[in-house]
Structure 1
Amino acid sequence: MRIDKFLKISRLVKRRTVAKEMADQGRVSVNGKTVKSSYNVVVGDVIAVAYGTRVIKARVLDLRETTKKAEAGDLYELVD
């Protein structure tokens, strides 16, 4: 699954177009490496998303094509 789609489905980012723009601007990294929006996410990856002055890190636990709002948190766990 593409990183921009995962960020949208997991609700770490509200819209896929915003997730795509963030990745293409270099504000998204996976396992310490900056990635583009076409990067394929696998279970176990640690994603870091830069929002202005703060960075959110999350470990991928599951991949799904669709999810409900209540289940979105099951796709990742926050990492320090």
Structure 2
Amino acid sequence: MRRPAVGCEDRAGWQGEGRRGTDQDESVATEVTTALLRRPDAAFKAMGDDTARHWGNRAQAASRPARTSRRTHEGV
């Protein structure tokens, strides 16, 4: 019995495309996540996963501008 051949014969070319693949993966992940969150039932199930909810909350907090104090310290 022989082991099947590896699916990617041109390994050097495959590794060279790694960076572009990562950028494309990020773009695809963004589109898929946006589509998922627009579907209430799917979003509810996804946010039921503690890890997914943690990273979703963290991403949301990172995209907000920093809070500024409403009080001014002038005249105090």
Q: TM-score, normalised by structure 2?
A: 0.25
Structure with a larger share of its residues in helix: 2
Between 1 and 2, higher relative CO (CA 8 Å, sep ≥ 6) is seen in 1
Greater Rg by CA: 2
